[in-house]
Amino acid sequence: MLTLLFGLMACTSAQSSEQFPPKWANKLPKSKNKVYAVGYAKSANQSVAFDKARANAFTELAEIIGPTTVTQKEVSKEPNSSTKLEETKTEVTLSDVSIIEKASRQTDEGLYEAYILVSYDKKNLKKIGKSVKTN
């Protein structure tokens, strides 16, 4: 019984010694070759929390890269008529996104919190004609 108690205490201290949220969740890695993004989610199911965190990381990455380009041009049919703006949108699908790190924990309420760090190779941006400034 005493051995079981010490074993449980050791497990508890090992879990609490890990930093949560992880350092990379608040301070993204820096790289000349990659763009990074983090996703976070909370759910009653750990795999659902990871799925949602992954989706949020991909959304964040898409916002950083800016896959949707809106081009506006003035269009006028007659010289004296009012002009209107015409918009053209171009969308790019992200591929080759890598999951770099994952972290999760169960809260006191029994929910799972999950973080996922993803990266995208900047050389792929050149293929789609984009450039991204990172901090």
The stretch 13-39 carries a mean pLDDT of 82
The per-residue pLDDT for 114 is 97
In a domain, 85, yes or no: no
Pairing of strands 34-43, 112-121: antiparallel
Judged by average pLDDT, the poorest of 6-10, 11-15, 50-54, 66-70 is 11-15
User: Which ranges constitute the DSSP H helices of the chain?
Assistant: 2-17, 23-26, 46-65, 122-127
In a domain, 131, yes or no: no
In a domain, 34, yes or no: yes
Give residue 1's pLDDT band: very low, low, confident or very high (50, 70, 90): very low
Judged by average pLDDT, the poorest of 2-11, 60-69, 77-86 is 2-11
How many domains does one find in the chain? 1
Q: Which residue has the tokens 């293929």?
A: 127
Per DSSP, what are the bridge partners of residue 118?
37, 99
pLDDT above 50 for 56: yes
Phi-psi region of 64 (alpha: psi -120 to 50; beta: other; left: phi over 0): alpha
Q: 53: domain range?
A: 15-66+93-123
In a domain, 105, yes or no: yes
Spatial distance between the Cα atoms of 46 and 52, rounded to a whole number of angstroms: 10
The per-residue pLDDT for 124 is 79
In a domain, 78, yes or no: no
In a domain, 45, yes or no: yes
In a domain, 86, yes or no: no
The pLDDT mean for the chain works out to: 76
Q: What is the CATH number of the domain that holds 55?
A: 3.10.28.20
Give the other-Cβ count within 10 Å of 38's Cβ: 22
